Structure 1
Amino acid sequence: MKKHILVIAQYFYPEEFRINDICSEWVKRGYKVTVITGIPNYPHGKFFEGYGLFKKRKETYNGVEVIRLPLIPRGNNAIMLALNYLSFVVSGFFWKVFTSLKADYVYIFEVSPMTQALPGVWFAKKRKIPCYLYVQDLWPENVEIVTGIKNKLVIGLIGKMVDYIYKHCDKIFTTSESFVKAIVNRNVEKSKVEYWPQYAESFYQPVEGLDCSEIPNDDRFNITFTGNIGIAQGLDVLPRAAEILKSKGFENQVRFNIVGDGRYKDTFVEHIKQMKLIDMFNFIERQPAEEIPIFMSHSDAAFLSFANNELFNMTIPAKLQSYLACGKPILASASGETEKIIATSKSGFCTQTGDEEELATSIINLMSLKDEDRKTMGKNARSFYERNFDKKYLLDKMDQNFQ
């Protein structure tokens, strides 16, 4: 008889998160998978077309049964975001009370908010089944950064909730080694916490010969960022670096392609216009994840950055695995775990978080390399990915926990 995995993930298809692929792979491996999620509204802050409080609340995706709990969409301000987080927990509580669903395991895919783990913990406790938590964002640290809340009472209460969740999970998986240490420091047994890095979906690989009209085919050096455009991404370092490049005469030689959407996008675009740098930037609407390798194939380098915060030094962003898998040289404005991976893999240049002078210098250095040397960096990236983030190896490892 197939084992039944109940997945708790506030975000799920058509929202683009790795849990979509993980669940699809589990179905292929013979598991029955049910996902409890919300009505899709990330990152735009409003319900996706075709979805709503009374529309498409149940569906099947790649053999995965999807049940959508009612929630308030994220909107575009802190109050709406808080209501979004809270509404999922309230809906999850009532779902837990009234559901007749049975499962063998609970698996919680935790990107912010950590609050989404509560319905999973409650369900596992009620059914007396193992509960696994996959931590992508550390709380309460992430709350302080994203919301700016510094109130010790509020942060203390969130900390107690986090400790409650950790205590009632049988196993905690993390996306970085640094997260393991941080969780153990909250008095969690070390044997309970395990590093299980993210992999990139199989379509992330080097591709050639496919058209991409959004990135002009000219002599400019194309540096491409893909993903969510938020405060945490620290993208303000790019226009500052662009200003330096412009002052050195590189204005017509470099193009920054920004592929994606997010709460900070409008402000970011306006900021670049005010700096009179818009000619160096090419904004492209959010794309299906499957299309990203095509954009990478028309780019000379992939870019990622973080806002300057100790928490982000501990984080390995999901896009790093995607970039490595696409076999492209990487430019990063980041420290800690990201810096370590780029240095070890010899896949590009990583400068200190937020340092525009260093970043501008790295861009010039990368541009000045021979094509062959940049190709070697790209090959190093793909090779490192295959050795460290192979999908089959990681899913086999997770399977051992389900035996």
Structure 2
Amino acid sequence: MKKKKKHILVVCQYFYPEQFRINDICLRLVERGHKVTVLTGIPNYPSGSYYDGYHFFSGNEEYNGVKIIRLPLLPRGKNKFSMVLNYLSFVVSGYFWTKLTRLKSDAVFIYQLSPVTQALPGIWYGNKNKIPKILYVMDLWPESMEVVGGIRNRQVIQYINKIVDYIYHNSENILTSSRSFMQKIQQRGIKQDKLVFWPQYAEDYYSPVSTRKDNEIVVGNGLNITFAGNIGEAQGLGILPKAAIELKNLGVPVIFNIIGEGRYKSTLIQEIERLEVEEYFNFIGQRKPEEIPYYFANSDASLIILAQNELFDMTIPAKLQSTMACGIPIIASLNGEAAQIIKESQAGLVSEAGDVRGLIDNILEFSKLNSENKESFTLNALNYSEIHFNRECLLDELEILIARELDS
């Protein structure tokens, strides 16, 4: 029996040309014959300024068959005050949009990154039109606000808790990017049958690259270990300069290639300079996601790292799926669910979050491995990725879930 195609409203504060996995999800749903409309903001992440060609009242547009509705949005800027205004402006614009819009869709899919408040317009729209609302939780709040944002005000946290409860209880289904999130959400009185583990997958361009390209990663000057992603405090990159000192003392040539930008970058560079280990670091800057596999091709291993924290222990960072799909051996410094996946898949070496000695030992161990051992990491990563993070299977699950909600 032929599947009936749906009109899906996707709500996410971030969308193309900003680089998030929701871009690919929308494109694949369109490929499968669905009509997809995205309610989003004005692109300004991660720089904090509007992208070229965009402004506060940027109009609607289309991206490869996806209709984009852009809400007026203040840029996130470079400080916490402007970031709060950025968050609030999306909610306020979304509130008025839900009141005024005549758009009709069959279901709402909310891709909930930080902040959690970005889900509100999707909930309001779904309630108004009496259609199913499917929430995909990528980040736990208020935990993320406390840990990453450093917010400790009890009244603020209590208010955010009420918003989170409202969003969760008004969603027909809640998908989570990690199993640990499900346990936390259940503690809010959400029934287990409402929750679905739906891991992230990697886009097509994340795949093994056999032919190397000349780029900023120079082959042959030492062990190339490459980190690609946001450079924030949550990533725990502060242990790298400490590891570099020990490696320098041991005379082990290692280059930590850092691809990306973020608020912690300047602090990290200052620490590297203070400890005089500049030769162990290569800052490459922001690169397009589709370029990352070519940087991995010039690398011996990838680095996946998170700071030591209960919230991060529950998180499966998106770069894990991307890295495994590229088939590059992993050197990881983290705890929890992500660490368990790397161990279970035998895709690399894992030390505990914040453990400098453990990271150094794994780097030393990796440097002594022969090509056959490294190749086994590659094959294990690719096999695990194909079985557990298969895009087509996951999209099938999403389609079935939406259809089931519409039929209920």
Query: Partner residue of 2:282?
Result: 282
Determine the C-alpha separation between the residues in 1 that align with 2:362 and 2:185. 34
Provide runs of 4+ in structure 1 moved above 2 Å: none
Q: Secondary structure of the residue that 1:67 maps to in structure 2? A: strand
Paired position in structure 2 for 1:166: 168
Residue type matched to 2:374 in 1?
R
Counterpart residue number, 1:52: 55
1:270-318 superposed Cα distances (whole Å, 9 cap, x missing partner): 2212221111111112111111111111110010111211011000000
Which amino acid counterpart does residue 152 of structure 1 have in structure 2?
R
Aligned equivalent of 1:337:
337
The answer for unaligned runs of 5 or more in structure 2 is: 404-408
Tell me, in whole angstroms, the C-alpha distance in 2 between the residues paired with 1:261 and 1:173: 29
Q: Work out which of the residue numbers 23, 28, 31 in structure 1 matches 2:26.
A: 23
Match of 1:134 in 2: 136
* 1:89 corresponds to: 91
> Could you tell me whether the CA contact under 8 Å between 2:215 and 2:295 is conserved in 1?
no
Residue identity over aligned pairs, in percent, reads 51
Which residue of the other structure, out of 198, 201, 212, is the alignment partner of 1:199?
Answer: 201
Partner of 1:188: 190
Q: Is the Cα contact below 8 Å between 2:239 and 2:354 reproduced in 1?
A: yes
Q: What's the secondary structure of 2:62's corresponding residue? A: strand
1:92-116 Cα offsets, whole Å, 9 max, x none, are 0011111111110011001100000
TM-score (norm: length of structure 1): 0.98
Alpha-carbon deviation of 1:217? 2.2
Unaligned runs of 5+ in 1: none
Alignment of 1:290-369 (within 5 A): 290-369=290-369
Read off the aligned partner of 1:300 and give its amino acid letter. D
| CA–CA distance in structure 2, aligned partners of residues 76 and 239 of structure 1 | 25
CA distance in 1: counterparts of 2:370 and 2:221, whole angstroms: 15
Counterpart of 1:76 in structure 2 is 78
Q: What's the counterpart of residue 232 of structure 1?
A: 234
Mapped partners of 1:88, 1:54: distance in 2 = 13
Deviation digits for residues 172-192 of structure 1 (CA, Å, limit 9, x no counterpart): 000011011110111101110
The total of aligned residue pairs comes to 400
Residue 370 (structure 1) aligns with:
370
Q: Distance in 1 between matches of 2:214 and 2:290?
A: 13
Work out whether 1:175 is the aligned partner of 2:177. yes
Offset, 1:378: 1.2
Q: Which moved more, 1:266-275 or 1:334-343?
A: 266-275
- Conservation of the 8 A alpha-carbon contact between 1:6 and 1:103: yes
Amino acid at match of 2:166: Y
Superposed CA RMSD:
1.0
Aligned AA for 2:156?
V
Residue in 1 that maps onto 2:406: none
Deviations 1:44-85 (A, max 9, x none): 111111111134x22111210011111111111111111111
Aligned AA for 2:249?
A: S
SS in 1 for 2:148: helix
Q: Does 2:12 match 1:9?
A: yes
What is the one-letter code of the residue matched to 2:91? V
2:113 counterpart of 1:111? yes
Matches within 5 A, 1:209-224: 209-224=211-226
Q: Is the 8 A contact 1:136 1:175 kept in 2?
A: yes
Name the aligned partner's letter for residue 79 of structure 1: F
> What's the secondary structure of 2:335's corresponding residue?
coil
Q: What is the CA deviation profile of residues 220-243 of structure 1, one whole-angstrom value per residue up to 9, with x for unaligned ones?
A: 110000011111111111111111
C-alpha contact (below 8 Å) 1:44/1:263 kept by paired residues: no
SS at the partner of 1:133? strand
Between the aligned partners of 1:98 and 1:54, the Cα distance in structure 2 is 17
Deviations 1:323-375 (A, max 9, x none): 10000110111000011001100111111101111101100100111111111
Partners of 1:177 and 1:195 within 8 A in 2: yes
Q: TM-score, normalised by structure 2?
A: 0.96
CA shift at 1:248, angstroms? 1.3
> Aligned partners of 1:262 and 1:40: how far apart in 2?
16
Native 8 Å contact 2:236 2:354 kept in 1: yes
* Kept after mapping to 2: 8 A contact 1:43/1:263: no
- Looking at structure 1, the residues matched to 271 and 100 of structure 2 have their Cα atoms a distance apart, in angstroms, of 49
8 Å CA contact retained: 2:313, 2:336: yes
Aligned match of 1:39 in 22, 39, 42? 42
